Amino acid sequence: MRTLLFGLLALAACDRHDKHPPAPVPSTPLPAPAASPTKACTLAPIPLRYPEPKRLVAIGDLHGDLAATRSALRAAGAIDDKDTWIGGDLVVVQTGDVLDRGDDERAILDLIFALEPQAKAAGGAVIMLLGNHELMNGAGDFRYVTRGQDFGQDRVKALTPGGTYAKKLAAHNVVAIVGDTVFAHGGVLGEWVTQVDEVNRSSRCWLDGQGGGPETPPLAMVSNESPVWTRGAGMPEVDCAQIARSLQALGVKRMVVGHTVQEKGISSRCDDTVWRIDVGLAKHYGGPIEVLELAPGAQPKVLRGTR
């Protein structure tokens, strides 16, 4: 237990998430899936793959800033000034890290959860993914929580496994593939391409309270190279050969990630096969409001909102 705790703290220490993120820590072997209670999980699976939509907009880390979230959604053409879905068959993918560093976490989650059925009814979708901060809160790691009264004293009850909001988060995957694009908070690299289904399943079942408590985190939380922790796709220098192998293994053409703040806004590497969309749009960072539009037959396009 002590070793596991130190490991989680070390991973979180690498998540300073500032304008100059630390270099990736040395690679570690892919851990074998633990024999955990999630084997008997009763949650219905969520699709990993979705068909290619006519239009998709990807939004990066939100970190507790409701105003920036609304601006990003409006830049995407998803909501009106009353927070009602107007996107029709638009698909919005949010790549995780709604939680921490801001006081509007619950309001953002409530907005996303309200938009999901509205979008579905209109023929579109809102696909929110889990980031490392959602899983850190599930593990009881509240070091990046602000002093506001967002969840207050109810944070443990709300966000640790089996809690009210943890169960709502359990309705979301870590990795999604929409058309020819794979989305994840940090990326899907190396041997992790073979573990996508297990990462999704174990994370969801754990948050739902069917995989142990905060002290028994899921597969995605126990390696610095996992889809919620890796910075391999977000740093200035990217291993394009590794990206190409991952894309080929997953049967897609591009990867879209958040997690590592891009100082100059949304950026791409490896001939536009990897896009990095965490622009630090939350007021904690003061970055621009930018989202990424993807449409069949068109070049990816950066859309900008206002504060």
Catalytic pick among 17, 133, 259, 284: 133
Task: Evaluate if pTM is beyond 0.85.
Answer: yes
Q: Is 133 a catalytic residue?
A: yes
Contact 35, 202 (CB under 8 A): no
Q: Which helix (H) or strand (E) holds 244?
A: helix 240-250
Question: Can you state the percent helix, strand and coil of the chain, rounding each to 5?
Answer: 30, 15, 55
d(CA 133, CA 156): 14
Residue that is written with structure tokens 């890796």 in the block:
230
**What is the residue extent of each domain of the chain?**
2-15+50-295
Q: How far apart are CA 284 and CA 237, in angstroms?
A: 25
The H or E element containing residue 6 is: helix 2-13
Q: For the chain, 307 residues long, give each residue's pLDDT as a single digit of tens.
A: 444 444 554 455 555 444 434 333 334 445 444 434 446 899 999 999 999 999 999 999 999 999 999 999 999 999 999 999 999 999 999 999 999 999 999 999 999 999 999 999 999 999 999 999 999 999 999 999 987 667 877 899 999 999 999 999 999 999 999 999 999 999 999 999 999 999 999 999 999 999 889 999 999 998 999 999 999 999 999 999 999 999 999 999 999 999 999 999 999 999 999 999 999 999 999 999 999 999 999 999 999 999 8
**Beta-carbon contacts of residue 1 (< 8 Å; ≥ 6 apart):** 215
Strand partners, 125: 91
Strand partners for 292: 58, 302
The Cα–Cα gap between 112 and 121 comes to: 15
The class (CATH top level) of 2-15+50-295 is alpha beta
Task: Report yes or no: 33 and 195 within 8 Å, Cβ to Cβ.
Answer: yes
Q: How far is CA 275 from CA 60, 111, 115, 175, 203, in A?
A: 11, 26, 25, 15, 24
Positive or negative CA dihedral for 136, 166, 220, 216?
Answer: positive
Q: 62 and 258 in contact (C-beta within 8 Å)?
A: no
